[in-house]
Chains A and B, each alone.
Chain A
Amino acid sequence: MFDVIRLVWFDLKNELKPPVWVGLQWFTSIVQLLIYAALIKQMMNANVISQPYNYQQFYAVGFLIIMTFDIGSHAGRQFVEAAHEGRLPYLLSLPISRSKLFLSIALRGGFELALMLTVPFTITLLLIGNLTAVSIGAAIATLFCLGFGVAGLMLGLSFIAFKSSDMYSAIVTGLSAIIVRFSTIMYPLAFLTQTSPSYASAATLNPLAYGADLVRLLLGFNPNSLLNPAVAVTVLTSVAVGTLGLSAFLLQRLVEGVKSA
């Protein structure tokens, strides 16, 4: 296990040295949640939906989900970069098992997620207030589950990058745009149902929408305006297990059979 931790730390420590990137992410989060979200809250026409929302709180959770998605995607992209920059053959030649290597990649993504979300998650908790340790813990677990699912999806797609990195970038960017927008991350389901039923239907097929609404439920939002939590738990667990399992299978077969670029 020391090998896995050493590998994770060796890869991750450069993100922190100097910690400009992390600092910028945190600064962006503060600005997004405390300034933009507060402004949008005032702009919202609460009469469109039956139950008025504190949109700043709603937006804050949505922002956490977008960050989780971005960081999960980043983990997948890093793997592709490792292959293209020649780092992957070196990692594959190290005297550790493939399962430990894949575990280190997943853990690295997990640590990065935890690091990046610390500030926005704390702000979100402060904005919402009045929460229990259990609900906070469950929300964190949901975010990690979602992050692993997204990372698994991106890792699973990385086989495209072995053929063409441009095609991979185009597909991932397009997919990200669709997945993030056709969801309830930024818009309450009740609002979507009233204003655009077809958009609402698309959102109910989106794992990110389930992730966002499950986190909201755990953080005390009104369950009547959210997607079904039992379905959300099933969807998120299935996506995380399915995509990670599939990506591990694909990578085992692909990585050792494809020349490094």
Chain B
Amino acid sequence: MYAVETQNLMKKYGKTYALKGLDFTVDPEEIMVLLGPNGSGKTTLLMTLATVLKPTSGTATVMGLDVVKYPTKVRQILGISFQDARGFWRHKPAEILRFHAAMCGVKKSERKAIIEQVLKELELWDARNKLFMHLSGGQAKRLEVAKILVQKPKFAIFDEPSSQVDLRGKRTIWEKILELRERGATLLVATNEVREAEYLADRVTILDQGKSIICDTVQNLKDKIAGGDIVELELEPDENNVEIEQELAKIPGTAKLTPMDGNKYKAYVSIAEAWVPKMTSLCYERKIRVSSVRVTEPSLDDVFLSFTGKKLETNENV
């Protein structure tokens, strides 16, 4: 059984479709990252799974429970960290967490210790008695994440968990998210940050315009780009180099071979790990020495570009 499954899920706002027949699954105890630009339907999908929004049509289940038929039961097993940490302006972080823990059924005897631990881990301890309205954007975002860490749900949803957070804070949040998975939780993380996706994802689903474009592990997605890996190699000067150039271009998986200055070549290949051994064998057979090899993997941004024709990261969200 999938932890999360949607079938032909649609959500319409007026005349606009936010989700257009989405088919999507998440396995138990995995971190599924939803990657997509703003407006791709990520947040709508998360809100629908969290039963905050009702789908226009189609089905969605969480741990086997239909989100429309059993919304309260679904809410009892999930926790959601929202994209915008807003709302309780005149409350303090410590009391917000106490309230959240109590509402989510965390045992009274455990609440105090868990809240203290999470506040300290997310560097919110000193701000625990500040009013929410006086927190910085990063602190408010960390508090949003802290709710889930206190709750420890079976299924956790994070909507852009580290946006507005500094680099050190991002790393802490990512580590805590990985810890949740280690404890057996299933996680769904929406982001448009490539580094976040690469750090966290067991699998990535690329969403664009309300549809799932592709879903796979980060490595498989990169490998699926024809010519996505770039191998830069330099050969020792040899009179046979013209012939070797033609033979290198014929190695399976070579999308393009471009001669550079001197005896340097740039090969665009599908899977560098498979291509490089074949290249070295060929050079060995032809008695040509390889001076240097440098492999560059595509980023998830390149993957996104390859499958959607659009850049994921803009100057705004890098």
**A interface residues with partner B (beta carbon < 8 Å):** 3, 6-7, 10, 14, 82, 85-87, 89-90, 92-98, 256-259
Contacts and interface: CB of A to CB of B under 8 A. Distances in A.
A37 B76 CA distance: 53
28 contacts: A6-B103, A7-B103, A10-B95, A10-B99, A14-B91, A82-B87, A85-B86, A85-B87, A86-B82, A86-B86, A86-B87, A87-B87, A89-B47, A89-B52, A92-B51, A92-B52, A94-B75, A95-B72, A95-B75, A95-B103, A96-B72, A96-B75, A96-B103, A98-B71, A256-B51, A256-B53, A256-B54, A257-B53
B76 A14 contact: no
Contacts of A259: 13, 44, 53
Contacts of A7: 103
Given A93-B50, A94-B75, A259-B13, A87 B103 contact: no
Given A6-B102, A86-B87, A94-B104, 18 more contacts: A6-B99, A10-B91, A10-B95, A14-B91, A82-B87, A85-B86, A86-B86, A87-B87, A89-B47, A92-B51, A93-B52, A93-B75, A95-B76, A98-B72, A256-B52, A256-B53, A257-B53, A259-B44
**From DSSP, what is the main secondary structure of chain A's interface residues?**
helix
Pick from A3, A90, A256 the residue with the most CB of B within 10 Å: A90
Interface in B88-107: 88-91, 95, 99, 102-105
Contacts of B13: 258-259
Contacts of B72: 95-98
Contact of A93 (B80, B91, B95): B80
A257 B51 CA distance: 10
Q: Which 3 A-B pairs have the closest CB atoms?
A: A87-B87, A86-B86, A95-B76
A85 B89 contact: yes
Contacts of A94: 75, 103-104
A90 B54 contact: no
A89 B44 CA distance: 12
A92 B67 CA distance: 13
A87 B82 CA distance: 10
B155 to A, nearest CB: 12
Contacts of B86: 85-87
Interface of B: 13, 44, 47, 50-54, 71-72, 75-76, 80, 82, 84, 86-91, 95, 99, 102-105
Nearest to A94: B103
Pick from B44, B53, B71 the residue with the most CB of A within 10 Å: B53
A5 B71 CA distance: 21
B1 to A, nearest CB: 21
A256 B47 CA distance: 9
A3 B51 contact: no
Contacts of A90: 82, 87
Pick from B52, B91, B105 the residue with the most CB of A within 10 Å: B52
A10 B101 CA distance: 13
A89 B157 CA distance: 14
Nearest to B102: A6
A14 B90 contact: yes
A193 B38 CA distance: 62
A94 B71 CA distance: 10
B45 to A, nearest CB: 13
Contact of A3 (B80, B90, B95, B103): B103
A85 B102 CA distance: 23
A84 to B, nearest CB: 9
A95 B88 contact: no
Contacts of B82: 86, 89-90
A95 B87 contact: no
A168 B84 CA distance: 24
A259 B11 CA distance: 11
A106 to B, nearest CB: 18
A135 B265 CA distance: 97
A92 B72 CA distance: 10
A258 B88 CA distance: 21
Contacts of A10: 91, 95, 99
A3 B75 CA distance: 14
Contacts of A82: 87
A129 B103 CA distance: 45
A82 B102 CA distance: 21
Contact of B51 (A6, A86, A93): A93
Contacts of A256: 51-54
A92 B86 CA distance: 14
A85 B132 CA distance: 13
B252 to A, nearest CB: 49
Contacts of B84: 86
Contacts of B91: 10, 14
Contacts of B50: 93
A96 B73 CA distance: 9
Contacts of B76: 95
A103 to B, nearest CB: 14
A86 B53 CA distance: 14
A148 to B, nearest CB: 24
Given A10-B99, A14-B90, A86-B84, A95 B104 contact: yes
Contacts of B89: 85
Nearest to A89: B52
